[in-house]
Amino acid sequence: MAAAVKPEVLRFPAPREMILAAAEGVVGRATSAAKARGRFVLALSGGSTPRPLHETLAAAPFVSRMPWDKTVLFWGDERCVPPADPASNYAMARQTLLDRLPRPPLAIARMEAERGAAPAAAAYEDVLRRLSPDGIDLALLGLGEDGHTASLFPGDPALDERERLAAPVSARGNPRVDRVTLTFPAFRAARAAFFLTRRPGKERALDSILAGSSGLPAARVAPRETLTWFISES
């Protein structure tokens, strides 16, 4: 078994600095992937932290530097709500990123979670294997106060998945609804993962993970090449 990638930890005094650095990182990975393999496969995350990153990537100077016409978009997780629901991660991405782009991405593979968690997870597995046979180039992730990431919550059966790339999750999070999530096998197959988080309110989980504890779900994300934590101290 290959050795785990050592995480790079980048700390910033405020969220804006963190977002700008993460945007530079996304553009760098996108440019390299498009040049090397002809396309860039990006998995978006939900939650509040990605909103300003989406808005930054959709605005100058980053929007013109991104190879959108070679970018394939996936999602790390989704709630089982209609795609226009305010709780939908897809709806948030459309509002903050997709509708602002000058040209559409090469492909947009949303999780059709309104179909129900189990059938949507099975369908997304097929889409992932068809559109991303070599794995995701970059997964954007957040951190919950309880140490969850995507919809991989402490104690959930999805944590034990060893083969499937997507799995159903029953009634978790806020709002407490069924969900679909990418699994640890999907994140292990990814080339890189960026965690974006603000330290306030996440201190216990963040300190535990950075100290090397493997007890929380976010600590178990282990991409093939690069793992970077972007942390705002305020």
- Residue 3, pLDDT > 60, answer no
Q: Is 1 part of any domain?
A: no
Residue 174: per-residue pLDDT: 85
Query: How many distinct structural domains can be found in the chain?
Result: 1
The pLDDT confidence band at residue 4, using thresholds 50, 70 and 90, is confident
Which residues have CB under 8 Å from 174's CB, separation 6+? none
pLDDT at 189 over 90: yes
Judge if pTM exceeds 0.95: yes
**215 within some domain:** yes
Name the H helices within the chain.
Answer: 15-37, 50-57, 62-65, 89-96, 117-131, 184-189, 203-210
Average pLDDT of every residue of the chain: 96
Instruction: Provide the pLDDT confidence category of residue 5 given band limits of 50, 70 and 90.
Output: confident
Q: What pairing do the DSSP bridges indicate for beta strands 177-182 and 166-172?
A: antiparallel
Q: Are 219 and 195 in contact (CB under 8 A)?
A: no
Q: Give the chain's length.
A: 234
For 68-98, the pLDDT digits (tens) are 999 999 999 999 999 999 999 999 999 999 9
The dihedral of CA 165, 190, 61, 20: what is its sign?
positive
Specify if 3 maps to a domain.
Answer: no
Of 31, 19, 18, 22, nearest in space to 137 by CA = 31
The amino acid occupying position 167 is A
Residue 49 lies in a domain: yes
The count of other CB atoms within 10 Å of the CB of residue 26 is: 23
In this prediction, residues 31-44 reach a mean pLDDT of 98
Tell me which residue range forms the domain holding 148.
Answer: 8-232
Give the residue-averaged pLDDT of 212-234: 95
198 domain residue, yes or no = yes
- Domain-located, residue 102: yes
More confident residue, 48 or 163: 163
- Give residue 23's pLDDT band: very low, low, confident or very high (50, 70, 90): very high
pLDDT in tens, 107-152: 999 999 999 999 999 999 999 999 999 999 999 999 999 999 999 9
**Residue 164 within a domain:** yes
DSSP 107-170: EE----GGG-HHHHHHHHHHHHHHH-TT--SEEEE---TTS-BTTB-TT-GGGG-SS-SEEEEE
Tell me the CATH number at 54: 3.40.50.1360
Q: For residue 106, is it within any domain?
A: yes
Q: Is 188 exposed, middle or buried (0-12, 13-18, 19+ CB in 10 A)?
A: middle
Indicate the burial class of 149 (C-beta count within 10 angstroms; 0-12, 13-18, 19 or more): buried
